[in-house]
């Protein structure tokens, strides 16, 4: 992050909440290696609001009091910027990504992107989700071992490319899939991931250099997307039902449409944010369903009551399946915090006063593990969401306010249909019954090992 603080004003007029006094490099290491435990330790020692200094980041304040979150999401949301705090991702997503925009530019772009994610349009993808899941699972054999995260990643990546660009049988889809896998494999290298936080490592020294490989991969992804956009400009009638077509047709209040660069940046943002996080959520849900036999039995009963050929929309409305998905996203939200909020002017939130340009992070993980809201918060209990409706500042796995994820409804629908399709066609079991720990991946918090499972039986449905 490259946020510039007005240090003189902050020091003279405001004091930051307490936080760890350990060296910033150590705090970064904790944040990367054991993020959930680290957050809980900080809250236990310093309270709901604490300050964290980590190498590569500006000083950040983490907030987990629901009333303070309500103020940020609703009462005072217009007093914050957010996009300028996300330029750590700028080299990949591009300058026009909605994640990096603020003010009127963000509002305009969000309005242009929303139509294809309205509920009725999302329901149109129901059959595609089920069909792709069936295609991936059709090759499974009895006794075969699987890593569920990799299975889910294959499904969600194919789905997001098909939803964005149309049929996933085209050569460009295959090229994009290979490049995305290469990018993610490269960034898993410790030197590559370190370059995100330390500018000294951001040097292109040739093909052996991880940062250089990331940049080349990013450029190749951009070139393929530009080629797709150019082709559609030249042949506008050949595509009509995919999300890119919606995006190219959308205009703002002045009738202005998105430029090629804006389209490219938003497509890259949707591709990377729209498949890995959902894959992680599906993997976690598979783990919990099979780790707790009573949960699995109750869900299978609910699915059986739909009969042999349920409509995707019927699956999407199942209350217990919905509760399982909600509880999955509560106990280990794929993102531990929302986008940061950067006050434009000095601001008071709860009992704290913050100077302008202070990085404020509503902490989703800590909100979701407040015992007064979620008793026995470490226990997986879907019934919580059948017995009570939580506000969007008590339960916020997709962020909140004007920065909530535009793909929220799509991701939830996709998660339910993928899980239901797998469970209706295959009987699986966990290879090990040992509890799984959360680990950090590129954009998400994943189950360690990816959830290793074995195929017990396949259904003829």
pLDDT, tens digit, 9 for 90 and up, residues 72-128? 998 777 888 887 766 666 667 878 888 888 888 888 998 998 888 887 788 889 999
**Do residues 150 and 275 touch, judged by C-beta distance below 8 A?**
no
Residues 24-44 have a mean pLDDT of 93
Query: What's the per-residue H, E or C state across the chain?
Result: CCCCCCHHHHHHHCCCCCCCCCCHHHHHHHHHHCHHHHHHHHHHHHCCEEEECCCCCCCEEEECCHHHHHHHHHHCHHHEECHHHHHHHHHHHCCCCHHHCCHHHHHHHHHHHCHHHCHHHHHCCHHHHHHHHHHHHCCCCCCCEEEHHHHHHHHHHHHHHHHHHCCCCCHHHHHHHHHHHHHHHHHCCHHHHHHCCCHHHCCCCCCCCHHHHHHHHHHHHHHHHHHHHHHHHHCHHHCCCCHHHHHHHCECCCCCECCHHHHHHHHHHHHHHCCHHHHHHHHHHHHHHHHCHHHHHHHHHHHHCCCCCCCHHHHHCCHHHHHHHHHHHHHCCCCCECCCEEECCCEEECCEEECCCCEEEEEHHHHCCCCCCCCCCCCCCCCHHHHCCCCCCCCCCCCCHHHCCCCHHHHHHHHHHHHHHHHHHEEEEECCCCCCCEEECCCCEEEHHHCEEEEEEECCC
pLDDT score recorded for residue 402: 86
- List all residues 6 or more positions away from 98 whose beta carbon is below 8 Å from its beta carbon: 83, 106, 109, 110, 113, 266, 269, 406
C-alpha neighbours within 13 Å on the C-beta side of residue 93: 22
Q: What does each C-alpha distance from 26 to 53, 424, 445 come to in angstroms?
A: 10, 46, 20
Measured distance CA(84)–CA(77) in Å, rounded: 15
pLDDT score recorded for residue 123: 86
**Do residues 69 and 245 touch, judged by C-beta distance below 8 A?**
no
Measured distance CA(3)–CA(361) in Å, rounded: 14
- What does the block give as tokens for 104? 């009127």
pLDDT at 329 over 70: yes
pLDDT at 3 over 60: no
Measured distance CA(433)–CA(13) in Å, rounded: 53
**Do residues 389 and 38 touch, judged by C-beta distance below 8 A?**
no
Q: How do 445-447 and 452-458 pair as beta strands? A: unpaired
Measured distance CA(214)–CA(218) in Å, rounded: 6
Residues 348-365 have a mean pLDDT of 93
pLDDT score recorded for residue 1: 31
pLDDT at 208 over 70: no
Residues pairing with 440 in the sheet = 445
Provide the pLDDT confidence category of residue 12 given band limits of 50, 70 and 90: very low
Mean pLDDT of the chain: 87
pLDDT score recorded for residue 213: 79
Provide the pLDDT confidence category of residue 8 given band limits of 50, 70 and 90: very low
**Do residues 42 and 19 touch, judged by C-beta distance below 8 A?**
yes
- What does the block give as tokens for 129? 């989700």
Backbone dihedral region of 109: left (phi > 0), alpha (psi from -120 to 50 degrees) or beta?
Answer: alpha
Domain formed by 115-147+270-333+376-461, architecture: Orthogonal Bundle (1.10)
Measured distance CA(338)–CA(361) in Å, rounded: 6
pLDDT score recorded for residue 119: 76
**Do residues 458 and 423 touch, judged by C-beta distance below 8 A?**
no
pLDDT score recorded for residue 98: 87
pLDDT higher at 47 or 217: 47
Residues 428-440 have a mean pLDDT of 91
pLDDT at 418 over 50: yes
C-beta neighbour count of 304 within 10 angstroms: 10
Nearest CA among 256, 220, 260, 255 for reference residue 244: 260
pLDDT at 264 over 50: yes
pLDDT score recorded for residue 81: 83
Q: Which residues of 256-295 are buried (b: 16+ CB within 10 A; e: fewer)?
A: eebeeebbbbbbbbbbbbbbbbbbbbbbbbbbbbbbbeeb
pLDDT per residue as tens digits for the range 224-256: 999 999 988 888 776 667 889 889 988 888 889
pLDDT higher at 197 or 126: 126
pLDDT score recorded for residue 303: 95
**Do residues 160 and 180 touch, judged by C-beta distance below 8 A?**
no
pLDDT at 287 over 60: yes
107-111, 213-217, 362-366, 434-438, range with the lowest pLDDT:
213-217
Residues 29-48 have a mean pLDDT of 94
Q: Which residues of 36-71 are buried (b: 16+ CB within 10 A; e: fewer)?
A: bebbeebbeebebbbbbbbebbbbbbbbbbbebbbb
pLDDT at 190 over 90: no
């Amino acid at each position: 992050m490259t946020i510039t603080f007005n240090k003189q004003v902050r020091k003279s007029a405001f004091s930051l909440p307490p936080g760890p006094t350990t060296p910033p490099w150590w705090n970064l290491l904790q944040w990367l290696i054991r993020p959930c435990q680290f957050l809980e330790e900080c809250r236990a020692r310093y309270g709901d609001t604490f300050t964290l200094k980590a190498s590569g980041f500006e000083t950040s304040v983490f907030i987990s009091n629901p009333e303070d979150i309500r103020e940020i999401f609703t009462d005072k949301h217009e007093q914050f910027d957010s996009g300028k705090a996300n330029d750590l991702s700028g080299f990949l997503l591009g300058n026009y990504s909605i994640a990096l925009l603020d003010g009127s530019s963000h509002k305009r772009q969000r309005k242009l992107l929303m139509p294809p994610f309205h509920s009725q349009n999302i329901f149109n993808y129901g059959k595609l989700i089920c069909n792709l899941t069936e295609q991936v699972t059709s090759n499974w054999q009895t006794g075969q071992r699987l890593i569920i995260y990799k299975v889910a990643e294959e499904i969600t990546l194919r789905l997001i490319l098909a939803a964005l660009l149309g049929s996933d049988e085209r050569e460009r889809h295959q090229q994009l899939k290979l490049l995305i896998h290469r990018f993610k494999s490269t960034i898993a290298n410790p030197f590559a991931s370190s370059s995100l936080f330390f500018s000294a490592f951001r040097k292109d020294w040739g093909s052996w250099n991880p940062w250089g490989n990331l940049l080349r991969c990013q450029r190749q992804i951009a070139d393929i997307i530009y080629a797709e956009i150019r082709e559609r400009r030249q042949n506008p009638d050949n595509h009509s039902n995919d999300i890119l077509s919606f995006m190219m047709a959308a205009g703002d209040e002045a009738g202005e449409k998105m430029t090629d660069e804006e389209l490219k940046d938003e497509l890259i943002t949707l591709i990377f944010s729209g498949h890995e996080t959902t894959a992680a959520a599906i993997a976690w849900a598979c783990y919990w369903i099979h780790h707790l036999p009573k949960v699995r039995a109750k869900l299978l009963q609910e699915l059986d009551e739909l009969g042999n050929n349920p409509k995707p929309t019927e699956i999407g409305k199942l209350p217990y399946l919905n509760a399982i998905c909600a509880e999955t996203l509560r106990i280990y939200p794929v993102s531990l915090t929302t986008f940061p909020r950067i006050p434009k002017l000095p601001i008071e939130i709860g009992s704290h006063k913050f100077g302008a340009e202070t990085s404020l992070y509503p902490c989703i993980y800590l909100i979701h593990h407040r015992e007064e809201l979620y008793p026995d918060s470490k226990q997986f209990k879907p019934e919580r969401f059948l017995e009570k409706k939580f506000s969007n500042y008590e339960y916020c796995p997709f962020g909140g306010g004007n920065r909530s994820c535009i793909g929220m409804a799509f991701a939830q629908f996709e998660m339910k249909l993928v899980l239901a399709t797998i469970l209706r066609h295959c009987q699986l079991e966990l290879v090990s019954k040992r509890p799984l720990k959360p680990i950090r991946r590129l954009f998400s918090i994943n189950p360690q090992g990816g959830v290793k499972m074995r195929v017990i039986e396949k259904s003829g449905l």
